[in-house]
Structure 1
Amino acid sequence: MTSEQIADDLAARIKSGEYPPHTKLPSKRELADLYSVSDGTIAEVQRKLRERGLTYGVQGAGVYVEGPEE
């Protein structure tokens, strides 16, 4: 899978509620294993999701799903 396909899949999972707002996404390693890709590919996926406004990073804690705009 390409980084774009993985980003689309994760975006669909976020929008479906599988990953609710303010919950932590699986780690980079877990996602790399899940999609059978490199950590570098997942880093690109995380960047794409952040650019789409779907996630945010917390230094040293991981990547989380954005909540609704208030």
Structure 2
Amino acid sequence: MTPARRMTFAQIADDLAARIRSGEYPPHTKLPSNRELADLYSVSMGTMGKVHVVLRERGLTYGIPGAGVFVEGPDDQGS
């Protein structure tokens, strides 16, 4: 059996975006911590930082310093 290939930050961003769009992570909910997501996807914290940049650029998330990363609501996009 071959080991599972590690996902790139772009693939992880696409996966999380799909989870957000499906409602798995509803608007205004906090995403799991960077450490939890890094463990889930078996990647470094630096990779997760890149993922969050992509999600923010896509208008899907926003960060609150000291509180975490949250899913944008439909009324928040473009603000």
Residue of structure 2 in register with 1:9 after alignment: 15
In the alignment, structure 2 segments of 5+ residues that lack a partner are: 1-6
Give % identity: 77
Segments ≥4 residues shifted beyond 4 Å? none
In terms of fraction of residues, the more helix-rich structure is 1
**In the alignment, does 2:37 pair up with 1:41?**
no
Question: What is the CA distance between 1:22 and its match in structure 2?
Answer: 0.2
Structure of greater relative contact order (alpha carbons < 8 Å, 6+ residues apart) = 1
TM-score by structure 1 length? 0.98
Q: Which has the larger radius of gyration?
A: 2
Question: What is the CA distance between 1:14 and its match in structure 2?
Answer: 0.1
